[in-house]
Structure 1
Amino acid sequence: MNIMVFNVPAESMGALSVLKEFYSDVLKHEDKNINWIFVLGKASLKKDSNIKVLKFPWVKKSWFHRLYFDYFVAPRLITKNEIDKVFSLQNIIIPNTKIDQILYLHQSLPFVEYKFSFRENKRFWIYQNIIGWKIKKSIKKARNTIVQTKWMRDACIKATGVSAENLSIISPKIYDEVSKCYEADDHTLSTFFYPASGFSYKNHIAIINSCKQLKEKGINNYKVVFTLNRKQNKHTEMLFGEIKKHNLPIEFVGELSRKQVFDFYTKSILLFPSYIETYGLPLLEAKMHCSLIVASNCPFSREILENYQNSYFFDPFNCNELAFLMESILNEKIKHKKVEFNSVAQVNEKKLLSLLDVVIG
């Protein structure tokens, strides 16, 4: 059997992580009679006896290059290599082919309640209205669509009318070993941590506005850590300027290694004000470290943190609620509850399914 895996957009962050995890599973798989062809953009993977890698870095040059690749180059590759099955890791299926396709969907923008206007953010408007239409069409045509959460499965059913039987839920894997859990003390209960990129929907501004309120009350016995670079984009420059203008206790530490992020979970409280996520991996990671978590009241966070007793929720568009929760933690009105360390990790492991099983099966 010949299986072609498409992921030309993958270059960094979550998309690249999923690609590498799937590739790792393919390498370890016992059946070497399956021939795998990975079709990539700028990402790099090593060839193996039954693994071939094709790279098309020019795809990333423009939307036109991507459309040309999707509609003309990709279908020819499928025909030329006599492919029996296609696995698309790029949110949409390959057009102009009748070969069975399995779709991995990790883009939530077309399914969230919050709608961007064209003036507010052109790129996100395009994702919600134009690419979103292509995504929904792909879900209808794919033999099976894989999503990461129940809320995404339900949103897909509502938006497309597809049967639940054609949708599989596979949560992201956490390969890194969790060796230490959060312990409450004066330092860890006064340090807040938000590991997120510099997109506006990550909602750093909610934390900044909450810190302004705390400052007005004379509360400054804490610090907040952002994994941002000041000059990452115009939005992060604006955030940095606002922090300096009001002299807030917020630090920009730049991008951290996974090991450093895991270390922060053991000595800080996770703030997660993002209102657009497919999964929200830091929520699961912090939960596995038994950390205190203050998260946006959204379907993805409610699902991941279900029955977790150290989680607290707020309206991501109401900084008063976030400020109140932060103040309650600092004043010890909210206290960390002891959670059995091993039980959290075991729950995560039990929920894991294999992407590879769905693709091969």
Structure 2
Amino acid sequence: MDRKTIVISAVNLVEAGPLAILRECLSYLSLLAGEANYRVVAIVYKKELADYPHIEYIETQWPKKRWINRLWYEYVSLGRISEDLSPVQLWLSLHDTTPSVKAHFRAVYCHNAFSFYRWRFHDLLFAPKIALFALFTKYIYATNIKKNNFLIVQQEWFKKGMSSMFGLDPELIIVSPPQVKPFVHGIIGANNGRSGKYTFLFAGSPNSHKNFEVICRAAAILEKAGVHDFTVRITVKGTENRYAKWLYRHWGHLNTIDFIGFVSRRRLEDLYQESNCLIFPSKVETWGLPISEFASLQKPMLLASLPYAEETAGGSRFVAFFDPDCAEVLASQMRKLVMGDISFLKPVPQPAYNEPTATSWCELFSLLLTGDKSVHSTNKGIYDN
């Protein structure tokens, strides 16, 4: 019996969370290919980024050079590759776009939430690419999207948003939350900071949508009010880009802000243990991994009052939300924690997911490869006639 072919296209995944998704996916498929009758082909930037046994690799760095190259590769070159690999049982695109390919089943993993981001002039000034993503992500998603048999997202709010934006049947959008490894539990209210001061932490890349400035403004408010017995560690050095330089120029003088710069994964785990409270003010995320990681420590978290944060924090016990544009509210919450008041922190209920859902790669590929027979009875996509 001939092996069925699964193709994973992920040429644009080279770092951070998206690369982690690629590695997890290929790690599972490596086992599947070794045990079952499947041939797995991965189209990647470099094999060394996610090298697993029983996987065939096609490396290509050309699409990363220019956007026009990327578009040509997605909508022309991958089509030719699909013909060369034919017949393809499943083609899964892990990077938002739906390439023009021939496959029995097709699916796309959507992890870019910028189509729901309300960008500002601030973003044009410091990170014009962010504003462009917010403007054009919708159109990038839209191309070929209805030719997929399934879409994959990480959260229910994103599922509802994609269904509404593109007129998609929600029963064909799979919610597959990431699996997060917990840390050793901490103690609520304990001060683990080395300085003896109450320690806040925000770990994120120095990009404008991460909204570091609301933390800086809150710290400035507290210092002006005479509250100094705390430290806020942020993973910005102040030299990385225009936004980071702006942050340091305006708030680098504050005694309570510690510009620690980029930290390794091991150091970040130490910072989680040392810190009393996580602040997460980002204005757009697909998940918000630090929230999940820090939640396992059972310590306070102050989070942006946005759908992604409310879902990610589900099941956490000590949480307060704040308007990500209101430094005054954040400052008030920080002050209460510094003074030992945790009465305003509340538990967050677990989110309710509507089917279909997948809590592991095994469950996900069972849906993608077998799924609803009424959907998979033909070669056609969701809305093809």
TM normalised by structure 2 equals 0.83
Counterparts of 2:243 and 2:124 in 1: how far apart (Å)?
15
State yes or no: 1:327 paired with 2:335.
yes
- Please show how residues 180-329 of structure 1 align to structure 2 within 5 Å: 180-188=185-193, 190-244=198-252, 246-268=253-275, 269-306=277-314, 308-329=316-337
State yes or no: 1:24 paired with 2:27.
yes
C-alpha deviations, 1:294-321, integer Å up to 9, x for none? 0000011112223533000000001101
Counterparts of 1:293 and 1:108 in 2: how far apart (Å)?
22
State yes or no: 1:7 paired with 2:13.
no
State yes or no: 1:360 paired with 2:369.
yes
Q: Secondary structure at the match of 2:226?
A: coil
Q: Which position in structure 1 is the counterpart of 2:174?
A: 168
State yes or no: 1:55 paired with 2:59.
yes
- Paired residue type of 2:113: S
Q: Which runs of 5+ in 1 are unaligned?
A: 345-349
Alpha-carbon contact 2:298-2:316 (below 8 Å) kept: no
- Please show how residues 34-49 of structure 1 align to structure 2 within 5 Å: 34-42=38-46, 44=48, 45-46=50-51, 48-49=53-54
Cα displacement (A) at 1:237: 1.6
C-alpha deviations, 1:152-203, integer Å up to 9, x for none? 01111111121111000011112x4523424533445710011100110100
State yes or no: 1:64 paired with 2:64.
no
- Paired residue type of 1:95: S
Q: Which position in structure 1 is the counterpart of 2:164?
A: 158
Cα displacement (A) at 1:325: 0.5
Q: Which position in structure 1 is the counterpart of 2:140?
A: 134
Counterparts of 2:346 and 2:47 in 1: how far apart (Å)?
42
Alpha-carbon contact 2:154-2:175 (below 8 Å) kept: yes
Cα displacement (A) at 1:335: 5.5
Cα displacement (A) at 1:128: 2.5
Q: Go from structure 1 to structure 2 and tell me whether the alpha carbon gap of 1:256 and 1:356 turns closer, same or farther (over 3 Å shift).
A: farther
Counterparts of 1:139 and 1:321 in 2: how far apart (Å)?
40
Q: Go from structure 1 to structure 2 and tell me whether the alpha carbon gap of 1:122 and 1:8 turns closer, same or farther (over 3 Å shift).
A: same
Counterparts of 2:211 and 2:47 in 1: how far apart (Å)?
29
Counterparts of 1:153 and 1:17 in 2: how far apart (Å)?
21
C-alpha deviations, 1:208-260, integer Å up to 9, x for none? 0111101101111111111223322111121122222x333222223323333
Instruction: Give aligned pairs, total.
Output: 348
C-alpha deviations, 1:19-40, integer Å up to 9, x for none? 1111111122263421111101
Alpha-carbon contact 1:228-1:254 (below 8 Å) kept: yes
C-alpha deviations, 1:43-89, integer Å up to 9, x for none? 6232533x101111122111122112112211111111112221000
User: Comparing 4-13 with 114-123, which one deviates more in the overlay?
Assistant: 114-123
Identity, % of aligned pairs? 22
Q: Which position in structure 2 is the counterpart of 1:90?
A: 95
Q: Which position in structure 1 is the counterpart of 2:380?
A: none
Cα displacement (A) at 1:97: 4.0
Q: Secondary structure at the match of 1:53?
A: strand
Cα displacement (A) at 1:122: 3.2
Cα displacement (A) at 1:96: 5.3
Q: Which position in structure 1 is the counterpart of 2:378?
A: none
Counterparts of 1:207 and 1:234 in 2: how far apart (Å)?
18
Cα displacement (A) at 1:16: 0.5
Higher relative contact order (CA 8 A, sep 6+): 2
Alpha-carbon contact 1:229-1:253 (below 8 Å) kept: yes
Q: Which position in structure 2 is the counterpart of 1:347?
A: none
Counterparts of 1:42 and 1:310 in 2: how far apart (Å)?
42
Q: Which runs of 5+ in 2 are unaligned?
A: 351-356, 371-385
Alpha-carbon contact 2:10-2:44 (below 8 Å) kept: yes
Q: Go from structure 1 to structure 2 and tell me whether the alpha carbon gap of 1:10 and 1:72 turns closer, same or farther (over 3 Å shift).
A: same
